[in-house]
Structure 1
């Protein structure tokens, strides 16, 4: 059993213009940083505490030092960051 190629409509064309694109941070949207504790209590239960969402990394990281001062055995942390990005053509197509 041979497979046939799908039928094409004759006369339709598409023209694509190739342009260089740039990828970078979106200046209209804010970054979000959150630091969370990976520490455990004596029973092995995860701590689950976190810094909450902050617009700058330093504030989120400072929370880890404050939390470690309250819970000296909690020394393992994670950092989640959301950085909005965009793509834009180097020149707008005409």
Structure 2
């Protein structure tokens, strides 16, 4: 069953975050993933949720998404993201 990874990001170092973006795409693709949403404009329809940046990824399965997240290839990008931003990330089965 497909899986979605939802990421809310607050960027505090935009230059460094650009380095993350360059490394993250090949890592995502290496695990069969693709970007569904990558930093597009958001509009809250309910509540006070107003993310600075929202990213949605799709993977073939939850297992594959976890393999990507824990992979050596993504760890390099992830460490840059940790330096350039703070955020929240979750994985959920899709329908």
Question: If the length of structure 1 is used for normalisation, what is the TM-score?
Answer: 0.32
Structure number with the bigger relative contact order (C-alpha 8 A, sep ≥ 6) is 2
Question: If the length of structure 2 is used for normalisation, what is the TM-score?
Answer: 0.32
Larger Rg, first or second structure (1 or 2) = 1
- More strand per residue: 1 or 2? 2
- More helix per residue: 1 or 2? 2
